[in-house]
């Protein structure tokens, strides 16, 4: 599903944000990305959704080679992804429902199927009563959950979630995490950046740890090596 | 595609102020063009009315018999530049002079002999009234036997040609300036409306929308704004015209813009809105900081 | 206050496109006004030149001795509306007619007696050339003993007055329309630039900035843009003027806008920019969703 | 420093977000606000910085009565506050340094003192090397720390922090929390909304717990009552 090979990445203004990162994620896997603030978690996700290109090395996602992805193929890649952005990126002048619905329209879903699907995902994140609210009328955690609902809506083969519980209380965190687990169980691969150490520890999924742009630990590889 | 129209309508209703301002700006700039067009059309008409008066008069030798005069008139009618030739006898010339020149009326009454000669009044075809052609025709008329002298108001003809040249030049410069104004305004308003929504465009791209999906409502909106602006401009121009027409006692009956011009204006507004959207959206679809 | 200037400069450099567009829009709309002013000033001048020719001619009785004619002229000079009175003897009237009316030259040459009367040409003061005054003066001239008849081209005077009325009306309507266009455009661009920055304004308020602190750079920026726009408009107007002047062979020498008009234009642009900013910022300082 | 008395609050579009909330915070206190997502934590803070007015009841902050605060007095109140917003609210076209400096200018600090102060607070939050970066060039946690630095910069008598560690890893969270503690020790009152249960538990400060807009627990009052 994902392959990083010796990937370096530099932002136009700034030093290397990622240095020689290599890892693979298989179809159906659930992987945590951890690391200190500024370690490069979001940068890895950004490469996955082709928001940036690697400066060196190879990035493949869902059958697309990000290195030389043509601009017109970017939408095709993104339609296969569900993305929860760290800063939500909701459309400010659309209600929660409209935010989710528009994403579905953009990916070409049949219009008559959309309303039901929107209701479903919003109630999955516990926001069935807030569908008509605009983002500015929602609490921080509620906005975050709208962002999660939007990412889940088109049932993507790969879900990228950047700190999806940063604004949620313990209970909501657990509920959202359970939701991601269920989705993963149904076959979706999940890559989730998180600094919630307790959550990561408890979940006991494969964890990639970054430190200043370098991959310093991969519990999956450790496990594989331990098995060998 | 239902969503495109819905998005386009939303674009209007979500930012009513901005939309109204865009339409107003487009309307006023096209209105400017319309006013200019109105002035140009009527100036053109006034000049044409003046040019109708360009005429060459061939004075005949005193005592030319009417048959010889008629032959000379026939001769002049064969010139390709000539539209019409009228014979004015010495008597009717005197009558006309007495009627037109009031202060001489009394003086002429005392005359025993008619001092005025008969003449041929030669009207030229439209488009053949420039100084060179008029002079050439005059020269050829002089060649006719019974013609004693030919007059055609050289200064009047040359002055008219100069006026026309100046009017054309001034018109061209001002018209171009106004068209430029209209373009700048339309581009500005649409660009600003888009800057306004660059975040929205960026987010749509992030969730996998194609360029076409993003672009369509903006293009429709641009075209619609252009169309509304054009129609409003037409109404304003008509109102200005009606106001002026009401006020004037019609020395020359003022004329409204020809239908083709009106249609071109509205269609041009629509196209302009569409084009401006196309250009602006095109650039905005690829912002530097995509992320 | 250093920061105000810095913020104002930043406003320009951070959004060079938007700033350029604002200045351009202001410039073009004031340019429109400038062009209109130019046309108005020159039309005004042309009309004034025509009006100079409004003249009342009093024909004297045949055989009036020169002394009596001079007394009559003296008399006419005392009228308050009269600027100048010129005595034209019968001989000089004939000489003039022969020179001016070429086709009658030969005819006159044959005359044994001069059919033309002597006359007094009465020029009126500026502002005293409307049909009523001219008619009144003519009536009083008729009362002078040696005057036989008075002519003043009633139609010409009335036509000129009507032309002037129409020109004034058309000018007023068009000028108002253009001023409206300029206002709408300036308000639009500034409003859009502000919408653009409403987030910035909201955040500044959140960190405790006073309205004055927030407003000052915008006001300075608005005034500066207005000033730059006004100056640019002046340059454009001058360029257009120079272009037209170069092309015309100066029937009536074209005139540029008077300095007072120019100064008022630039100052007006500055003020307009300032006012538009003031109004727009005022509203934006109190957005609905403060939070 | 703060007094809430039977406060109700309703948003223009929406039901009551706060219902009959009463509490007091003394000068120099450190108080946690907790509660589920959408409980009303941010709403309480919003009343404190006069972003909303109460529908009923009385709110007093730092000597200002929020109920009938005139518009021109709002800046005077806000200058006495440091605010960390849940969504950061950084100026996007200013660097980190400029964001902090502008806030200081806005509150009327002497221009020659500003650069030194900006450097100081940025290094306190561990961002001394990122001063010249624009918000979009910073990671989520780095942006959050700029927001914290801005709130601390003018040494406010009262600090309001809305989920200030939501985007920070464990280490950075601890560092920021220690910073807030030091500031509190130096005399600043602090009200901090947080859903980080572990942090709240460990810190063992007074905690106000909200549930659907109601104040359901106040460990301070409990303590007071327990003492009595
Ligand atoms: N557009 C950019 N230009 C320059 N540098 C950038 C840009 N975006 C991020 N960086 C830098 O790259 C590094 C990695 O950023 P990234 O967003 O990947 O961190 P992160 O692991 O997601 O951190 P956090 O947990 O705080 O969100 C940071 O030091 C950040 O300052
Ligand atoms: N502008 C608004 N208009 C209408 N309702 C609003 C508005 N802002 C917030 N709300 C609602 O008020 C309630 C309380 O919101 P608040 O932001 O105070 O929650 P919170 O405790 O901060 O939650 P979180 O931990 O998710 O940030 C929520 O149900 C929210 O939907
Ligand atoms: Mg991140
Ligand atoms: Mg909140």
* Strongest mean pLDDT among B3-12, B16-25, B262-271, D175-184: D175-184
Chain A partners (3+ C-beta pairs within 8 A): B, D
- As a whole number of Å, the end-to-end CA separation of chain B is 29
Q: What local confidence, expressed as pLDDT, does residue B183 receive?
A: 66
Q: What is the pLDDT of residue C287?
A: 47
* Most confident of the ranges B82-86, C153-157, D126-130: D126-130
Task: Say which ligand is closest to the CA of D194.
Answer: 2
| Closest residue CA from atom 11 of ligand 1 | D138
State the pLDDT at residue C291. 36
Q: What percent of chain B has pLDDT over 90?
A: 3
Query: Rounded to an integer, what distance in angstroms lies between the CA atom of residue B84 and that of residue C110?
Result: 33
Which of B192, B246, B279 has the highest number of chain C CBs within 10 A, making it the mutation to test binding with C? B192
Range of B26-30, B236-240, B278-282, C232-236 with top mean pLDDT: C232-236
Ranking A47-51, A71-75, A216-220, B1-5 by mean pLDDT, the lowest is: B1-5
Contact at CB, B208 and A78, closer than 8 angstroms: yes
Q: Are C207 and D100 in contact (CB under 8 A)?
A: no
Q: How far is the CA of D3 from the centre of ligand 4 (A)?
A: 20
**CB-based contact (8 Å) between C111 and chain B?**
yes
Candidates C200, C203, C208; nearest CB to D107 = C208
- pLDDT band of residue D122 (cuts 50, 70, 90) is very high
Q: Is the CB of D39 inside a 6 Å radius of any atom of ligand 2?
A: yes
The shortest C-alpha distance from C240 to chain B (Å) reads 7
A186 in D contact zone (CB under 8 Å):
no
The answer to whether B286 contacts A71, with C-beta atoms less than 8 Å apart, is yes
Atom of ligand 1 nearest to the CA of D144: 26
Chain B residues whose CB is inside 8 A of the A103 CB are 207-208
Bridge partner list, A9 = A18
Kindly state if the Cβ of D137 falls inside 6 Å of ligand 1.
Answer: yes
All residues of chain A having their beta carbon less than 8 Å from the beta carbon of residue D41 are 139
Q: Is residue D93 scored above 60 in pLDDT?
A: yes
> D99: CA distance to ligand 2 center in Å?
26
Judged by a CB distance cut-off of 8 A, whether residue B3 touches chain A is yes
Instruction: Name the pLDDT band for D146 (thresholds 50, 70, 90).
Output: very high
Least confident of B185-199, C60-74, D4-18, D140-154: B185-199
- Smallest CA-to-CA distance from D218 within D17, D2, D15, D21 is with D21
Q: Is D77 helix (H, G, I), strand (E, B) or coil?
A: helix
Taking only the tens place, the pLDDT of each residue in A57-107 is 999 999 999 999 998 899 999 999 999 999 999 998 899 999 999 999 988
- B279-283 long-range contacts, Cβ below 8 Å, gap at least 24? B279/B187, B280/B187, B280/B190, B280/B191, B280/B194, B280/B218, B281/B194, B281/B201, B281/B214, B281/B215, B281/B218, B281/B219
CA distance B165 to chain A (A): 54
CB of B120 within 8 Å of a chain C CB? The answer is no
CA-CA distances (angstroms) from residue C203 to A206, C65, C285, D87, D89?
Answer: 41, 95, 11, 12, 7
- Sign, CA dihedral A195-A198-A199-A200, equals positive
Q: What is the pLDDT of residue D181?
A: 94
Higher pLDDT, B47 or B111: B47
Q: Confirm or reject contact between B210 and chain A (CB < 8 A).
A: yes
Is the Cβ pair D106, C207 closer than 8 Å?
A: yes
Report the C-alpha gap between B144 and B79 in whole angstroms.
12
| Strands of chain C, DSSP E | 55-60, 82-88, 119-124, 147-151
CA–CA separation, A66 and A48 (whole Å) = 8
Three-state secondary-structure class, residue B264: helix
The predicted model gives B145-152 an average pLDDT of 82
pLDDT in tens, D159-173: 999 999 988 998 889
Name the more confident of A162 and B75: A162
pLDDT in tens, C89-147: 888 877 777 666 555 555 555 566 677 788 888 888 887 777 788 888 888 888 888 88
Protein residues placing their CB within 5 Å of the ion ligand 4 = A 139-140; D 42, 86
Q: Which regions of chain B carry the CATH code 3.30.70.3040? A: 55-151
DSSP labels for D33-68? EEESTTSSHHHHHHHHTTSS--SEEEEEETTEESTT
**Is B209 near chain C, with CB under 8 Å?**
no
- Secondary structure (DSSP) of A96-127: HHHHHHHHHHHTT--GGGHHHHHHHHHHHTT-
Residue-level pLDDT at A93: 86
Tens-digit pLDDT profile for residues D173-198: 999 999 999 999 999 999 999 988 88
The string of pLDDT tens digits covering residues D197-225 is: 889 999 889 999 999 999 999 987 665 55
- Judged against a pLDDT cut of 70, whether residue C163 lies above it is answered with no
pTM of structure: 0.77
Mean confidence (pLDDT) of chain C: 76
Please tell me which residue, C26 or C228, carries the higher pLDDT value: C228
**Beta carbons of D42 and D57 less than 8 angstroms apart:** no
Mean of the per-residue pLDDT values of chain D? 92
CB of A206 within 6 A of ligand 1: the answer is: no
Class in CATH terms, C55-151:
alpha beta
Output A115-118 pairs: Cβ under 8 A, ≥24 positions apart.
Answer: A117/A153, A118/A153
Nearest chain D CA: its distance from A102 CA (Å): 23
Label residue C288 by pLDDT band (50, 70, 90): very low
Least confident segment among B77-81, B273-277, C71-75, D79-83 = B273-277
Give the per-residue pLDDT at B291.
Answer: 36
Which residue does chain B place closest to C170, by CA atoms?
Answer: B244
Query: If contacts are CB pairs under 8 Å, which of residues 37-66 in chain B contact chain C?
Result: 57, 59
Q: Ligand 1 within 6 A of A17 CB?
A: yes
> pLDDT class for B289, splitting at 50, 70, 90?
very low
| Exposed e or buried b per residue across A116-133, where buried means at least 16 C-beta atoms within 10 angstroms of its C-beta | ebbeebbebbbbeebbeb
Per-residue pLDDT tens over the stretch B231-276? 998 998 888 788 777 655 545 567 788 888 888 888 988 887 888 7
Residue B65 or residue C255, greater confidence: B65
| Residue A43 and residue A19 in contact, taking contact as beta carbons nearer than 8 Å | no
Q: Is D156 in the pocket of ligand 1 (CB under 6 A)?
A: no
C-alpha to C-alpha distance for B163 and D3, rounded to whole angstroms: 84
Residue B32 backbone dihedrals phi, psi, to 5 degrees: -55, -45
Q: Which residue has the tokens 């009595």?
A: D228
- According to DSSP, the residues that pair with D82 across neighbouring strands are D159
Which residue lies with its CA nearest to atom 2 of ligand 2? A137
Matching residue, tokens 């005059």: B138
Q: Does the C-beta of A137 come closer than 6 Å to ligand 2?
A: yes
pLDDT surpassing 70 at residue D65:
yes
Q: Which of A142, A163, A197 sits opposite D167 (nearest CB)?
A: A163
Write down the pLDDT at residue A8. 96
Q: How far, in Å, CA of C13 to CA of D94, rounded? A: 12
């Amino acid at each position: 599903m994902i392959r990083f090979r010796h990937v370096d990445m530099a932002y136009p203004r700034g030093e290397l944000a990622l240095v020689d990162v290599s890892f693979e994620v298989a179809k159906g896997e659930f992987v945590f990305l951890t690391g200190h603030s500024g370690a490069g978690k979001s940068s890895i996700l950004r490469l996955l959704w082709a928001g940036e290109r690697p400066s060196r090395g190879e990035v493949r996602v869902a059958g697309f080679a990000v290195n030389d992805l043509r601009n017109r193929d970017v939408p095709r890649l993104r339609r296969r992804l569900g993305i929860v952005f760290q800063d939500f990126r909701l459309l400010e002048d659309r209600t929660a429902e409209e935010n989710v619905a528009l994403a579905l329209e953009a990916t070409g879903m049949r219009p008559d199927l959309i309303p039901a699907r929107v209701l479903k995902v919003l109630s999955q994140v516990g926001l069935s009563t807030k569908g008509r609210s605009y983002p500015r009328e929602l609490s921080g955690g509620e906005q975050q959950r709208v962002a999660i609902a939007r990412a889940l809506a088109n049932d993507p083969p790969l879900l990228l979630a950047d700190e999806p519980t940063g604004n949620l209380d313990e209970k909501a965190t657990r509920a959202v995490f359970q939701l991601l687990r269920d989705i993963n169980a149904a076959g979706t691969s999940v890559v989730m950046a998180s600094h919630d150490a307790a959550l990561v520890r408890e979940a006991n999924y494969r964890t990639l740890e970054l430190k200043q742009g370098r991959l310093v630990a991969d519990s999956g590889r450790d496990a594989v090596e331990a098995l060998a | 595609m239902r969503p495109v129209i819905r998005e386009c309508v939303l674009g209007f209703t979500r930012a009513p102020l901005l939309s109204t301002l865009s339409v107003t700006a487009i309307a006023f700039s096209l209105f400017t063009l319309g006013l200019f067009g109105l002035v140009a059309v009527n100036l053109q008409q006034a000049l044409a009315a003046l040019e109708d008066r360009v005429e060459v008069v061939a004075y005949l030798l005193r005592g030319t018999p009417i048959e010889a005069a008629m032959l000379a008139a026939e001769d002049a009618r064969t010139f390709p530049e000539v539209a019409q030739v009228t014979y004015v006898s010495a008597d009717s010339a005197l009558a006309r002079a007495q009627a037109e020149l009031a202060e001489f009326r009394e003086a002429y009454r005392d005359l025993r002999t008619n001092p005025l000669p008969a003449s041929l009044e030669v009207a030229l075809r439209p488009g053949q009234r420039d100084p060179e052609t008029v002079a050439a025709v005059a020269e050829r008329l002089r060649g006719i036997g019974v013609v004693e002298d030919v007059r055609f108001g050289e200064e009047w003809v040359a002055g008219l040609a100069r006026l026309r040249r100046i009017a054309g030049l001034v018109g061209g410069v001002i018209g171009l300036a106004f068209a430029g104004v209209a373009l700048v305004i339309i581009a500005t308003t649409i660009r600003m409306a888009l800057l306004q929504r660059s975040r929205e465009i960026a987010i749509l791209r992030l969730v996998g929308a194609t360029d076409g999906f993003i672009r369509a409502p903006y293009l429709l909106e641009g075209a619609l704004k252009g169309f509304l602006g054009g129609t409003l401009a037409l109404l304003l121009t008509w109102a200005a015209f009606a106001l002026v027409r009401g006020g004037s006692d019609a020395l020359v009956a003022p004329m409204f813009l020809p239908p083709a011009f009106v249609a071109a204006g509205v269609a041009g507004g629509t196209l302009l809105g569409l084009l401006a959207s196309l250009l602006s959206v095109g650039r905005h679809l690829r912002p530097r900081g995509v992320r």
